[in-house]
Amino acid sequence: MPDSHHPEKSSESIAPTGSGGAMGLATSEAETLEREPAPGRPRSLWSDAWRDLRRNPVFIISTLIILFLITIAIWPKLIASGNPLACDITKSQDGAAPGHPFGFDIQGCDVYTRTVYGARASVTVGVCATGGAALLGSVLGGLAGYFGGWWDALLSRISDVFFGIPIVLGGLVFLSVVTNTTVWPVIGFIVLLGWPQIGRIARGAVITAKQNDYVQAARALGASGPRILLRHIAPNAIAPVIVVATIALGTYIALEATLSFLGVGLRPPTVSWGIDISSASIQIRNAPHMLLWPAGALSLTVLAFIMLGEAIRDALDPRLR
Amino acid sequence: MGHYVIRRLLQMIPVFIGSTFLIFFMVYALGDPVAALFGDRAPDPAVAAQIRKDLYLDHPLGAQYVHYMSQVFAGNFGTAFNGQAVTALMGSAFPVTLRLTLVAIVFEAVIGIMLGVVSGLRRGRTVDTSVLLLTLIVVSVPTFVSGYVLQYLFGVKWELVNPSVSFAAPIDQLILPGLVLALVSLAYVTRLTRTSIAENARADYVRTAIAKGLPRGRVIRRHLLRNSLIPVVTFIGTDIGALMGGAIVTERIFNIHGVGYQLYQGILRQNSPTVVGFVTILVIVFLMANLLVDLLYALLDPRIRYA
């Protein structure tokens, strides 16, 4: 029996993302991370992937960017000493000045400080929404794939319903009637419309995994349903979910910014790249710097998560090697 | 084939009901259209009750939905709060968005497939790597950023195009907005084509075609491309619905009075008949596009037969 079927050894490579949800299953066993397989034993999919990833510059760069982002999301004061809400209207739309490398926005706020502080909202929404969507999607999709039957049919129709609604449009309708101005309605909405995508992937992965011989063997040995699902199927079906969730994290951050840009996502005084881009867009002819910095930070963040997801996918997909 | 189409059409019914009911619920149950009608002032209770009665809002939500849908299928989408028939708004908005989507799809299909084929055939070389890098960057830049940047560069700085589209929105003014709308999907099409081409280029039938002495161009066009385009067609087909609904941002940037503009205005002012009506049409477009894609499969791949 090939090594890769043991859940105990299937945890490496995903630890660095640390965004909860789908990764929960795997990170609990992160201690085995550095352990090389004993000589003579076949290497598992995960240790192979980890060996690939460590040498992949794309993986290293994107991980560094993400770690940096998470750090400044938690402790923005490390690199920005100012207050993002302390603005001086007399400096409205001024260019760069000593101590203010990115210049000032319409309200006279320091663009650099606001760009740094904007990371917090984006990372919070991205991580929480992905965690929620991945958890909901993999549980519901996984159960649908495992049990099949009417539950599967029902779930497929439900996800079709959500696929039928364009996501920005749904966000506008849903969030425009919500009066709560915290990040939670935005996160809740993204989870609500995001889980079917991950659920579909999880369902397919579980269907593929449950047809394997070792699942039959486990069943023949008398393993219970939950045990088969958690110990034998889940570790072998989680790879595609992790890939999709990582890429989704990037797109969710972009979605949050888009909704904030349209005026229904996060709202002031929350500091968000989407809000700053929206208010800067009016003055793009006179002061493009107000738009370019938050837009650049946003794009770089999305890029980092998509690059990370693709690096993991390339490492996990043997067909591309 | 006929049976298959009928089965698919039947499968669409629950999806259609689900999607439209979800939107209906959000607009009518979470928001209050009558209060929205009065703006910030508190409405007179008697007047509000009369309006509720006129708009069929004094019934339970399920009954409201059934009533609304029966009206829709009779061709009556109701009246927007400014007194215009919703169908009149649709008549002016949908042709504009349709043109915009058309421009976007052409960009997506032509440039996307071309770049994908070029990089897929040269996997691992400089061209491939740079195309891959370019698509990665394009995917990462949200539409509202790329829209403003391109509008600023082409419309303001270099003055090559008009930064704002006129009310009639002729197709030549929609080229830049169409490109902006297409950008992210264009990158996906490129990557999809590339992967598909690279995978199929190693297939036995391609080797056979080369071995029997066919010219390279013919092998690529007739053998490789036709087999590789199936996932691409799926993507472009399902993208039609997403593009029409996703044009909200693009239409806002370039001031295009299409579906996205009407929806955005409708949602902000809680103009419920407009929102639900437009979304209903969009859901139908989305479902039809998906069906069309499935039927196109048979055309592209003779192995697929719908019994």
Residue of A nearest to B198 (CA): A320
How close A282 gets to chain B, by Cα (Å)? 10
Cβ pair B142:A170 closer than 8 A: no
Q: Is A307 on the interface with B (CB under 8 A)?
A: yes
Residue for token pair 């996703």: B246
* pLDDT value, residue A77: 81
Cα separation, B87 vs B65, whole angstroms: 18
Residue of B nearest to A264 (CA): B268
CB-CB neighbours of A117 under 10 Å: 24
Cβ pair A176:B270 closer than 8 A: yes
Q: Which residues of A touch B248 (CB under 8 A)?
A: 168-169, 172, 262
Q: What is the mean pLDDT of residues B6-35?
A: 82
Q: Quote the tokens at residue A196.
A: 């079917």
Question: Which of residues 20 through 59 in chain B touch A, CB cutoff 8 A?
Answer: 22-23, 26-27, 30-31
**In the predicted structure, residue B307 carries a pLDDT above the cut 70:** no
Helices (H) and strands (E) in chain A, counts: 12, 0
Give which of B140, B255, B268 to mutate to test A binding, by max A Cβ within 10 Å: B140
Give which of B267, B268, B283 to mutate to test A binding, by max A Cβ within 10 Å: B267
**DSSP H or E stretch at residue B146:** helix B143-150
Question: How is residue A84 annotated by DSSP?
Answer: T
Question: What is the tens place of the pLDDT at every residue in A260-272?
Answer: 888 888 887 788 8
Residue of A nearest to B146 (CA): A295
Q: Is B288 on the interface with A (CB under 8 A)?
A: no
> A11: pLDDT confidence band, cut at 50, 70 and 90?
very low
Give which of A160, A173, A262, A286 to mutate to test B binding, by max B Cβ within 10 Å: A173
Q: What is the mean pLDDT of residues A84-113?
A: 74
**In the predicted structure, residue A62 carries a pLDDT above the cut 50:** yes
Question: What is the tens place of the pLDDT at every residue in B116-128?
Answer: 999 988 888 888 8
Task: Using CB atoms, pick whichever of B15, B248, B252 lies closest to residue A161.
Answer: B15
Whole-model pTM over 0.95: no
* Planar angle of CA A115, A105, A111, nearest 5 degrees: 25
CB-CB neighbours of A266 under 10 Å: 26
Cα separation, B212 vs B198, whole angstroms: 21
* pLDDT value, residue A40: 58
Contacts of residue A316, defined as CB under 8 A and 6 or more positions apart, other chains included, come to A13, A45, A49, A239, A240, A243
Question: What is the tens place of the pLDDT at every residue in B213-244?
Answer: 888 888 888 888 888 888 888 888 888 877 87
Cα separation, A124 vs A130, whole angstroms: 10
Across chain A, what does the average pLDDT equal?
78
Q: Quote the tokens at residue B128.
A: 């491939």
Cα separation, A14 vs A55, whole angstroms: 15
ipTM: 0.82
Of B56-70, B115-129, B185-199, the poorest mean pLDDT is in B56-70
How close B18 gets to chain A, by Cα (Å)? 6
**DSSP H or E stretch at residue A253:** helix A234-261
Q: Is B18 on the interface with A (CB under 8 A)?
A: yes
Cβ pair A254:B19 closer than 8 A: no
Cα separation, B112 vs B126, whole angstroms: 18
Residue of A nearest to B14 (CA): A157
Look up residue A239 and give its amino acid: A
**In the predicted structure, residue A66 carries a pLDDT above the cut 50:** yes
Task: Using CB atoms, pick whichever of A165, A176, A261 lies closest to residue B144.
Answer: A261
Of A144-148, B77-81, B301-305, the poorest mean pLDDT is in B301-305
Q: Tell whether the torsion through CA atoms of B51, B55, B56 and B59 is positive or negative.
A: negative
Residue of B nearest to A308 (CA): B136
CB-CB neighbours of A36 under 10 Å: 9
